[in-house]
Amino acid sequence: MNRLSQHRRLQLLYVAADILSAEIVWILFLLFRWMVYEGLVFSVDRVLIPAFSFYRPLILYPIGCLIIYYLSGYYLRPAGKALTQELATTFLSSIVIVLGAFFIIIIDDKVVSYQRYYISLIVLFLLQFTVSYLPRLSISLWTRRHTQERVYTLSEATDEAINELKRAMPIDRVHISLPEGTAENVIYSVIGKVYPLRVSISLPPRRFDILSGAASIFDLHGQPLIMITEHKMTDMQLAVKRATDVVVSLTGLLLLSPFLLILAIAVYATSKGPAIYSQERIGLYGKPFRIFKFRTMKENAEESVPQLTNTDDPRITGLGRFLRKYRLDELPQLWNVLRGDMSLVGPRPERQYFIDLIMQRAPYYCLLYQIRPGLTSWGPIRVGYTDTIDKMIERLDYDIAYMENMSIRLDLKIMFYTLSVLFNGKGQ
């Protein structure tokens, strides 16, 4: 079993435990209400709001719990979480769940006094926290006891060493410890080859890293190491970011579907070739994926070597120039966002050909592999379309700055500026 399948198996185990716990909580809570209300638990109009039946909450309550748990980031990295973090996450999630259930279901009960409201709220919280936390704790303790972090030290930058690493999989963390004095571009080249394995990557810090506080002490021996795969966003922020991607992209595809159809017909009617153009790009973990966009160039515009484009490129069609000006050509990428290939906000994905050219001068490009590429980011806003390698490197620096300062607030700010660019027709 590889590392990814183990990760998903553990995720499913936590999800199953949470679903079962939620069902038990609701049934126990109904039994409590039956005792308090003297047998009125089955009287829908007295105990539950009229929009609900006795059985519907048995489905809706666990679903609501799973949504809250997901948004808390609990399922994102199921292995290796600190027990204190698990306790805090479960406690806060239980508060949110109970308050939601209280205002949706309990508050419209026809009760004699408010005291019963408060008692119901407290009992539901105690049930929710206790019944959900104990299975989680049991799974976490069992996982800690029967598994340990598998660390592989990569001390050579040769292809043979990389192949030996792949044969040693599954591995949890790869520690890259190349000889002192190894050129920076060689180190980044190795990092780029390790990213597709979807493992944690650590490096010994340089003196500057220690003095600037970039190094973090995370292992039992207190050895300062740079964890280059550690996200700047919390698990909760990452979960909210992905949930936002799904909701916005799905809503956008549904609401804009007539407009997208009109654009597709216009592209097809005004120039020879397909309306939707797909191209291989490199995304999360350095994995390739197919990106979709409305075709803005003449058919077979690139017959051999990939070429960059500019505003005066004769390959761009008349309609294509308009689409690129308002970035309407990128609307089909909402499908990429929904699928998980991309995010709403993140560095623009590039083709492998141009990545190789960029890395000759900026070998740190591979650091972008740790986050999903996006529809927009600081790079496209500040630099726009890139028609030279120099501009691509300039955009890369903005993308690195975004990655180092990722937050929900920053994403919202970037989206605001992106809308300003679109409405003003400054897409190209």
Helix axes 235-270, 408-423, angle to 10 degrees: 20
Partner residues linked to 280 by β-bridges: 290
d(CA 362, CA 400): 11
Query: For 285-310, what is the mean pLDDT?
Result: 86
What's phi and psi for 58, nearest 5 deg? Answer: -65, -20
Question: Residue 93 pLDDT more than 90?
Answer: yes
Pick from 40-54, 178-192, 297-311 the range whose average pLDDT is largest.
178-192
d(CA 132, CA 123): 14
Question: Residue 400 pLDDT more than 80?
Answer: yes
pLDDT band at 44 (very low <50, low <70, confident <90, very high): very low
Asked if 80 and 148 count as a contact pair (C-beta separation under 8 A), the reply is no
Q: What was the pLDDT predicted at 170?
A: 84
d(CA 228, CA 367): 8
Rg of the chain on CA atoms, in Å: 26
Question: Residue 47 pLDDT more than 60?
Answer: no
d(CA 373, CA 366): 12
Query: For 395-399, what is the mean pLDDT?
Result: 91
- Domain regions of the chain by residue span: 3-146, 151-227, 235-423
Query: For 24-46, what is the mean pLDDT?
Result: 68
**What DSSP character marks residue 423?**
H
| Nearest residue to 243 (alpha-carbon basis) of 371, 343, 145, 169 | 343
Cβ count near 298 (within 10 Å): 14
d(CA 163, CA 305): 30
Structure confidence by residue, pLDDT tens digits, 302-344:
777 788 877 778 888 989 899 988 889 999 999 999 999 999 9
Cβ count near 78 (within 10 Å): 21
Beta strands 200-203 and 173-176, pairing class: parallel
Asked if 135 and 17 count as a contact pair (C-beta separation under 8 A), the reply is yes
Residue 24 makes CB contacts below 8 A (sequence gap 6+) with 131
Question: Residue 107 pLDDT more than 80?
Answer: no
pLDDT band at 121 (very low <50, low <70, confident <90, very high): confident
Q: What was the pLDDT predicted at 368?
A: 92
Q: pLDDT averaged over the chain?
A: 85
pLDDT band at 50 (very low <50, low <70, confident <90, very high): very low
pLDDT band at 60 (very low <50, low <70, confident <90, very high): confident
In the chain, % of residues over pLDDT 70? 87
- Ranges 79-93, 230-244, 302-316: which has the least confidence: 302-316
Asked if 70 and 63 count as a contact pair (C-beta separation under 8 A), the reply is no
Higher-confidence residue of 105 and 40: namely 105
pLDDT band at 217 (very low <50, low <70, confident <90, very high): low
Q: What was the pLDDT predicted at 207?
A: 61
d(CA 122, CA 185): 59
Greatest distance between any 2 Cα atoms in the chain = 81
DSSP secondary structure letters along 50-111? TT--SSHHHHHHHHHHHHHHHHTTTTTS-SS--HHHHHHHHHHHHHHHHHHHHHHTGGG---
Angle at 324 between CA 428 and CA 353, to 5 degrees: 80
Asked if 128 and 25 count as a contact pair (C-beta separation under 8 A), the reply is yes
Query: For 148-172, what is the mean pLDDT?
Result: 88
Asked if 379 and 403 count as a contact pair (C-beta separation under 8 A), the reply is no
**What DSSP character marks residue 170?**
-
